[in-house]
Amino acid sequence: MPGEAGEKKAPTGPFPQDALVYYQVFGRREQPVTAEEAFGEIDRALDAMTDVPAEEIAAAKEAFQRLAGDAETFKLTPVTRRENPEFFFELDEDGPGKLMQYGSPPLEASDREIFQQAQTVCGLVYEGAAWPGHQHLELMKRLADVVAQLSEGIVTDFVAHAINGQMIWRAIMAEQSPQAVHHIVWHTVSDDERRSGERGVWIHTHGMGKFALPDLELRRVPQNFQENGASLLVEAAQWLIDNGNVPFATIHPFGYHNTEWMFMPVLDEEEHRDGPVLSLVVPHDNPFEPEKMGEGLFAYGGGVANDEMGPPLEEDDAEIQAAYEQAMETLPAFKQRFEAAAAGHGTDDEELC
């Protein structure tokens, strides 16, 4: 899901911003959906699955009971337009509505109608640890789907900064395992939109936090390699979802041509993130100020660019190697700071995302 976010921050709402999973369901029904109603509907749906083994039904019920019973990590909070109109934003005005459409597939007319006629918004928040096999996300998806059905609503994903129209939500609910393209968005920011003054395009994801994984980014991407860059990020995100987090400086091949890329932690110079981020760079390039991004994405795309190759961003190889060696020397200390932030223990380093 592509998008352009400039330097805008995440949308705001009536619920925590640091949740692992954070859905809001905007519904047309005037009466808010309660937790009792939602979990009761799930129980009835599970009981109706006569073709599913009884032990699987029992396990599913136990998982939902565990989720519902932990008030410290799970919250279902409904609000109404009548009592809290400030939590209902317009799709076409500057702010959350526009930002969340940057990364979403175009909304159908019926989606926009539901959103604009919404009388309630139900926040579904999970702030606990990730469950094995991403089961926490599966439970939250099922719960959001039930709330959407009961309230005649559509689901927004505040971790990914996305509004899920009815068509994409059906695809999300039909997936057999999590597909990165359904759960993350990517934003592209050109050099003239950024405070850092860094040249090239910055492409980054939102949404990997739902899997307790770092978001991904590419920096200094030449304009004519944006499509290759977005494709690489989605592929790398899927690999992390399937395989889990990786040690820093891990090198892995991606793409049809098995182009090697290295995962490295990065600083949040744009003050754009709420969690840790990994950057993808060409091995032996400077990981913090990459100079071989165009060369790497050209190879990743099989020697195909979106336009003519254009002026390269690469500089002298000796300078790049020296910068790479210097950056790698700082890695142990950087790793300690990064892991503290990723584990939710906080950090004294205000520059570390």
Q: How many other C-beta atoms are found inside a 10 Å radius of the C-beta of residue 85?
A: 9
For residue 216, with 0-12 CB atoms within 10 Å meaning exposed, 13-18 middle and 19 or more buried, which class applies? Answer: buried
% of residues, the chain, pLDDT over 90? 59
Distance of CA 263 to the CA centre of its chain: 17
Question: How many other C-beta atoms can be found within 10 angstroms of the C-beta atom of residue 35?
Answer: 17
Average pLDDT over residues 144-173: 95
Which contiguous run of DSSP H or E holds residue 329? helix 317-329
**CA angle (107, 92, 172) in 5-degree steps:** 25
Give the pLDDT confidence of 108-128 residue by residue, as tens digits. 999 999 999 999 999 999 999
From 245, 241, 196, 249, select the one nearest 220 (Cα to Cα). Answer: 196
Residue 35 per-residue DSSP state? H
pLDDT of 86 reads 87
Over residues 217-259, the pLDDT tens digits come to 999 999 999 999 999 999 999 999 999 988 888 999 999 999 9
How many other C-beta atoms can be found within 10 angstroms of the C-beta atom of residue 47?
A: 10
pLDDT of residue 316 exceeding 70, the answer is no
Which of 279, 289, 226, 284 minimizes the C-alpha distance to 4?
226
User: Could you report the per-residue pLDDT of 179-217, keeping only the tens digit for each?
Assistant: 999 999 998 888 655 545 567 899 999 999 999 999 999
pTM of the model: 0.81
Residue whose C-alpha is closest to residue 347's, from 328, 331, 333: 333
Q: Give the separation between CA 116 and CA 110, rounded to whole angstroms.
A: 10
Q: What is the mean pLDDT of the chain?
A: 82
**163-172 core/surface letters (b: 16 or more CB in 10 A; e: else):** bbbeebbeeb
Q: State the pLDDT at residue 104.
A: 76
